[in-house]
Amino acid sequence: MGEAAGGDEAYFRRSSLFWCTVITVSFGYYTWVVLWPESIPYETLGPLGRFSLYLIDNHPKLLHGWYWLAWMIHVGESLYALVLCKSKGITSVWAQFLWFLQTFLFGFASLSLLLAYKPKRQKRT
């Protein structure tokens, strides 16, 4: 973690393992519910299984709509990450790609790190 070796132009910081895990498991389950609902063992998942089955049976359009909206939000966040990179002086193509990819996969857990980043100001003589 921390700054990359190249300084401000190559700055990249990984999201916390906790948030990466929570988002991966949550989005993975949501994908499973939306795309392969017939393969889920609802009865073994307790309240989560009952709630998922209720949504599938009673609100399938809402479930699918929110799923695709979540993906579009992640795309928008990742494009905004590229804009932020340029505005904060992160010019390394590799660092920009890493911010784009991480923000696409983990959303605000990544974007918040980039928003909080304060580049060093160079003194002008």
Residue 2 has pLDDT above 60, yes or no: no
Quote the pLDDT of residue 122: 60
Domain coordinates in residue numbering, the chain:
16-116
pLDDT tens string 32-84: 999 999 999 999 999 999 999 999 999 999 999 999 999 999 999 999 999 99
CA angle 120, 78, 122 (to 5 degrees): 10
Q: Could you tell me the two tokens for 97?
A: 């790609």
